[in-house]
Amino acid sequence: MMRRSACASKKTGQPNSTNPISCSPSDLFRTASSKASSKEMERIDNLFYSFANRSSGMIDPEGIESLCSDMEVDHTDVRILMLAWKMKAEKQGYFTLEEWRRGLKALRVDTVSKLRKALPELEKEVRRPSNFVDFYSYSFCYCLTEEKQKSIDIESICQLLDLVLGSQFRAQVDYFIEYLKIQSDYKVINLDQWMGFFRFCNEVRDSLSLLCIGFIVGVQANDAKHLQPLRALPNKLLGVVFGQYSVYMKCTFPAVCMYRNSSACLACSCLDKIYA
């Protein structure tokens, strides 16, 4: 007598070939999980199309503003940039369906309410050192809006620095933005310089170093006759940003300032007192 299949039903008098098949618990779990995943993806897609532009098939800047409004989050909030990073969005101000699915599946959300509640955890994830370097680099590349564009204008860089680093490195960002606004050598910033400033922020943390930067920026802003002799100084002081030097601060100052031995240089006299 032949053995019945493990998945066969109880004997009903009918031939085995017509018996309904009963699956194992693991098979049932996989089936239920697949159905739940399918339903979740359907909700994610429906949410996408509620904000997407019908003609382009993407969520455009207007759709992102609507999303932010529904989440009660300002569209300039850094967490929106973090959300774009999570989606690996390629074009500034636009989300494709594939990017939307990638991000929302990773966050395990399928409604606006869940997405809003997920933002604090997303921010914690981005702030981890292992992730933040990638996010910082991404934020620059995300702002390259033209084909073959490799640099960003100074005004936009200042806004981006404040958005991305302002909460972590307030003093460094303020000084650097002030310097960028008064200098005339650089019209744009490239990715290497952008990453260099992040290294600079991590290396120059103590108050004395920041005080020195403040004196130098102040002299450039307020003393026209020192603008030329001191022009090279920030490039050395912030040399790690522009890739020219690996040392800065006190050791580079005397080599640059032609007024080192006179009282004409406010920055030198201040540094003399500090290091006396």
Domains and CATH numbers, the chain: 36-127 (1.10.238.10), 128-221 (1.10.238.200)
Distance CA 176, CA 168 (A): 14
Structure tokens that stand for 172 in this block = 């460094």
Q: Poorest-confidence range of 44-48, 222-226, 263-267? A: 263-267
How much of the chain, in percent, has pLDDT values that exceed 70?
Answer: 60
**Other Cβ atoms closer than 10 A to 211:** 15
Average of per-residue pLDDT across 197-201 = 84
Nearby residues of 163 by Cβ (< 8 Å), 6 or more positions away:
76, 78, 81, 139
**Other Cβ atoms closer than 10 A to 126:** 21
**pLDDT tens string 3-34:** 444 444 444 445 554 555 566 666 655 565 56
DSSP states of 200-260: HHHH--SHHHHHHHHHHHHHHHH-GGGTTTTTHHHHHHTHHHHTS-S--GGGGHHHH-TTT
pLDDT at 68: 97
DSSP states of 32-69: HHHHHHHHHHHHHHHHHHHHS-TTTSSB-HHHHHHHHH
Asked whether the whole model's pTM tops 0.85, one would answer no
| Residue 225 scores a pLDDT above 70 | no
Contact 176, 161 (CB under 8 A): yes
| Residue 91 scores a pLDDT above 50 | yes
pLDDT at 190: 92
Q: Which has the closest alpha carbon to 183: 134, 257, 242? A: 242
pLDDT at 171: 83
Q: Give how far the C-alpha of residue 164 lies from the chain's centroid of Cα atoms, to the nearest Å.
A: 6
What average pLDDT is seen over the chain?
74
| Residue 226 scores a pLDDT above 50 | no
Distance CA 3, CA 196 (A): 73
Answer with the residue of higher pLDDT: 40 or 234: 40
pLDDT at 25: 62
